[in-house]
């Protein structure tokens, strides 16, 4: 047994930065207002902040893995200027219509497991925020709390449902607007009186 960290898992495009459909040029990256502040606040609460992103444009031949790395470096630069660094960025470059050809493409959980092992994360005392149902399903699979943001594809998704799908803890207009929920969850875990521990499966 060992002490582990709470984590704020974030999708990238449409959650932290403006969705622009397969960003290849770092200069096209634009932060969504309030996203850096939320990351900074989460870190002040003692949370790790890790980005997990599907980047199927690589498999589709729209971009290269180097393009993704360059855009990610630009994201880190923009967040650092706001004193809002992230602990890691993981991405899946693969694509299959049924998500069966790799373990890392959300809603599969391979990248979350990698983050757990490399950064000492308690997945069940973490939060997943994204703008797609694949983000929510991934969060459900790891036992995390979930937030669907209406930036990116979230608003289109909301417009097409009759009622909120199961598995979404809250719907928030943006990452910034999820901060109250994030604080409440951290306080809830603290008040539970239990150490943030999880038995290693390694």
pTM over 0.85: yes
| 27 within a domain of the structure (yes/no) | yes
pLDDT digits (tens, 9 = 90+) for 69-113: 999 999 999 999 999 999 999 999 998 766 567 999 999 999 999
Order across the sheet with 5-10: list the strands. 88-92, 48-54, 5-10, 121-130, 145-149, 170-172
Residues acting as catalytic residues = 11, 13
| 202 within a domain of the structure (yes/no) | no
pLDDT digits (tens, 9 = 90+) for 33-43: 999 999 999 99
Q: Total structural domains in the chain?
A: 1
Kind of pairing between the strands at 48-54 and 88-92: parallel
Task: Report which of 110, 126, 130 is spatially closest to residue 48, judged by C-alpha positions.
Answer: 126
Cβ of 23: how many Cβ atoms within 10 Å? 24
| 11 within a domain of the structure (yes/no) | yes
Domain carrying residue 116: 2-195
Task: Report which of 152, 134, 44, 143 is spatially closest to residue 96, judged by C-alpha positions.
Answer: 134
| 36 within a domain of the structure (yes/no) | yes
| 201 within a domain of the structure (yes/no) | no
For residue 50, report the phi and psi dihedrals to the nearest 5 degrees.
Answer: -130, 130
């Amino acid at each position: 047994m060992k002490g582990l960290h709470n984590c704020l898992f974030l999708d990238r495009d449409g959650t932290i930065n403006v969705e622009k459909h397969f960003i290849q040029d770092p200069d096209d990256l634009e932060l969504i207002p309030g996203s850096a502040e939320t990351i900074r606040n989460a870190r002040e609460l003692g949370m790790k902040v890790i980005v997990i992103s599907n980047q199927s444009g690589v498999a589709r031949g729209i971009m290269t893995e180097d393009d993704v790395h360059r855009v990610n470096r630009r994201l880190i630069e923009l967040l650092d200027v706001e004193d809002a660094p992230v602990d890691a960025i993981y991405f899946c470059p693969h694509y299959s219509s049924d998500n069966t050809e790799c373990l890392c493409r959300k809603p599969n959980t391979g990248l979350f497991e990698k983050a757990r092992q490399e950064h000492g994360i308690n997945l069940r005392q973490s939060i997943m925020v994204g703008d797609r149902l694949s983000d929510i399903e991934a969060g459900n699979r790891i036992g995390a709390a979930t937030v669907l943001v209406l930036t990116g594809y979230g608003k289109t998704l909301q417009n097409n449902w009759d009622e909120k799908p199961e598995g979404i803890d809250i719907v928030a207009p943006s990452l910034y607007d999820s901060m109250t929920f994030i604080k409440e969850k951290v306080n809830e875990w603290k008040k539970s009186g239990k150490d943030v521990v999880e038995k290693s499966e390694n």
